[in-house]
Structure formats: C-alpha cells, structure tokens
Chains A and B, each alone.
Chain A
C-alpha cells in the first residue's frame, strides 16, 4: 500500500481537524494533495509531531487533532507515547505510516524492519485504542471509524518505502506556522491573539478536562 493513496483516501476527512505531520515524504505528499490552513508540517524536530498534537489537544479539547507520524520519527520519541497515554486526550488521533525505512535520507531500514512492533509498543504504553492496517480500504475505514470515536487512538499503517521525487515544497516554514496559528485563532472557542487568557469559559473547560483526566488515569504518585 502506498502512503499517498492512504492520504488521498482520507483527505476529505481532514478538513475540520487540526493536522500535524512529520517531515519528509508525509509532508510533501499531503502538501501535493492540496495545502490547507489547518495543516502544519513539522519539517524537522523528529519525534515532536506527536508532542505538538498532544499540546494542541490538551489546550483545545473540543477540537479533533490528527498527527501523521512515521516509524523513524516515532522511534525517536517512544517516551512520548507514554505521555500521550497518560493524558489520553479523547479527540487525538495518532496515525503512524510505517515504511520500515528512513526514506528521505536514503532508505536505511529502521528497527521496525527487524521486528520492532510499534503496535505492541503503543498498546503497552497505554494508548487505549491501537490497530494496524495493511490496505488502503482498511486504512480509510479505520480512520473513518476513529473520527466518530472519542478515545485516543494510534493507527499503524504499513506502507511501501516509496515517496515523492523531492521534499521541498513552495510553502515556507514560517508561512505555514503563522497561517496555522491564525487558522486556529479564527476557530470558534479559541482564544484570540493578544487577548487575555482570563477567559472564564476556557479556564473552566480546562479544569473540567483536568478532573476527567485525573479520574481516568491512575497515577502511581
């Protein structure tokens, strides 16, 4: 299965979500399908796309957040899985394209090519819903399903180690970053830039979320 076909199959479902991708082929291919202001491509800082999604999801609990990760990036921040599982924001969807390869630097095999099982790691980290798909149809069905659910999900999609001819797009990194933030600020319920954060509704919502998290998550400390 090709990552590009997977992305194409869910592209229309990404419209009302906040989407954070890793660098390389994922960013270039999603961009090639048509950039939207709700897409942020993290073009470096490998491993931190999932953390960025977690930060967004904790601050905007009503908002669907989709992280599009990869095996190389996830292997650089396996601890982040435990942090996501600890706070488990219900509307966070964590998609991992596993091509068993560091494709953009020459296709060197990652540890998933020699048996490391990302589904098993995610499950053992405490992510409540985890599955692996191997066809475009099952990928599309799994994403459609999870978009209806309110439970943190990691979806591993096994894809071929092929990608676009080039990775640089015509979207400047900072243009993407400022556009993404401005888009979020324009959404209903989000705070406006420069506005005081003494917003009683948001503070109350955060407090509610915090109580929910502490009720759901047993803390050893």
Chain B
C-alpha cells in the first residue's frame, strides 16, 4: 500500500510533541499507519469510532479532563460530524484539532470520493473553521504545532487537510 509510512511517522511524532494523549479515528486508507501507530503506543488512548461525530464528544470529554486530543478522519467523516462541530465544539468553545485526509482532490482515482473533495473546503469556510494543508514533509511539525496552539488559544475547531502529495507515494 503506497501510503507514506515516513510521513505518517512525521505526523504522529508531531502530534506527540504537542502533548496529544488521545486520538479518535475511523480507519480510512490514508490513515492506516497513523491509527496503527496509535494502537501500538501505550501512551496514547486510541478510540476507534463507529462514526466520526462521536469524536467531537470524546474530544470534549478529554478537554474537560485536561487531556489534549486530536481527531483523525476522512473528509467524509468531517462532513458527517458537522452537527457535533457546530452544536458542541462551536457552541461550547471546545478546542478540536482535526486531521482530515483530503480525498477527492487532484489525482483522485476513486469516483466515490470526488463530491466530498469538492465540498470540503467550502464547508470549512462556511463554518468559519480555520484550516491549512499538510502538503510537504518539511512543514508537518511546525504546522501541526501551530494548529494545536490556535485550537487551544481560540477554543475552537481547527482543521489540517492531509494532502495526496504528503500521504501517497507512487
């Protein structure tokens, strides 16, 4: 599977460096290494979800407990989480670090991913969610740290879009 193990490790190490101690996730191809790393790591609480919106509640609980968390999901999982984001994370000012694999963009071969690819950025903008891209290895560490800092200081959801250029090797 040509998902980049090297860049997944970079992302994972950057999350650990930010004191992230809980990761929620629902497997998708680009996230397999990250989820496996979390599963193998005794310092990380990994919560495998049935649906991504649950992760909003779990991250809120972690925040109340004083534990930093992040959500790993595909952009369709982000789209499936919108009510939780608006009526929990926004309404109650909960910091959420969302790592979203940006499927359905340039280079996408799976037809079923393409509509979600079109909708993701407009929906992020409509919701007023600050977002940026993880599109090359050299910015991963810094940008994850910046996103986490903003989420914590502004008490709101912040999104990082994981791009094909970073996650896929072929």
A55 to B22, Cβ gap below 8 A? Answer: yes
Cα(A43)–Cα(B65), bound, Å: 19
Q: Which residues of A contact B65 (CB under 8 A)?
A: 55-56, 59-60, 184, 190-191
Count A/B pairs, Cβ under 8 Å. 137
A190 to B42, Cβ gap below 8 A? Answer: no
Range, interface on chain B = 35 or more
The secondary structure that dominates the A interface is helix
A-B contact pairs, 20 of them (CB 8 A): A40-B64, A43-B91, A45-B87, A55-B58, A55-B64, A59-B62, A80-B54, A80-B57, A174-B92, A174-B93, A177-B94, A181-B64, A184-B64, A190-B66, A192-B66, A193-B66, A197-B21, A207-B43, A209-B45, A210-B42
Q: Would you call B60 an interface residue if the criterion is a C-beta within 8 Å of the partner chain's C-beta atoms?
A: yes
Report the 6 A-B pairs with minimum CB-CB distance, sorted nearest first. Answer: A55-B61, A51-B57, A79-B50, A48-B57, A59-B65, A55-B58
Give chain B nearest CB distance to A131 CB in angstroms: 23
A185 to B57, Cβ gap below 8 A? Answer: no
- Chain A: CB-nearest residue to B58: A55
Q: Which residues of B contact A60 (CB under 8 A)?
A: 65
List chain A positions with a Cβ less than 8 A from chain B.
18, 20, 40, 42-60, 77, 79-80, 82-83, 86-87, 173-174, 177, 180-181, 184-185, 190-193, 195-198, 203, 206-207, 209-211
Q: Which residues of A contact B45 (CB under 8 A)?
A: 58-59, 206, 209-210
Cα(A60)–Cα(B22), bound, Å: 12
Q: Would you call B49 an interface residue if the criterion is a C-beta within 8 Å of the partner chain's C-beta atoms?
A: yes
A53 to B61, Cβ gap below 8 A? Answer: yes
- Chain A: CB-nearest residue to B42: A207
A77-B54, A83-B50 are contacts. A48–B84 as well, Cβ < 8 Å?
yes
A174-B93, A211-B42 are contacts. A83–B87 as well, Cβ < 8 Å?
no
B58 to A47, Cβ gap below 8 A? Answer: no
A44 to B88, Cβ gap below 8 A? Answer: yes
Among A40, A51, A177, the one with the most B-chain Cβ atoms within 10 Å of its Cβ is A51
Among A43, A52, A83, the one with the most B-chain Cβ atoms within 10 Å of its Cβ is A52
B60 to A55, Cβ gap below 8 A? Answer: yes
Give chain A nearest CB distance to B3 CB in angstroms: 16
B19 to A48, Cβ gap below 8 A? Answer: no
Q: B51, B58, B88: which contacts A45 (Cβ < 8 A)? A: B88
A197 to B91, Cβ gap below 8 A? Answer: no
Q: Which residues of A contact B58 (CB under 8 A)?
A: 51-52, 54-55, 58
Cα(A52)–Cα(B60), bound, Å: 6
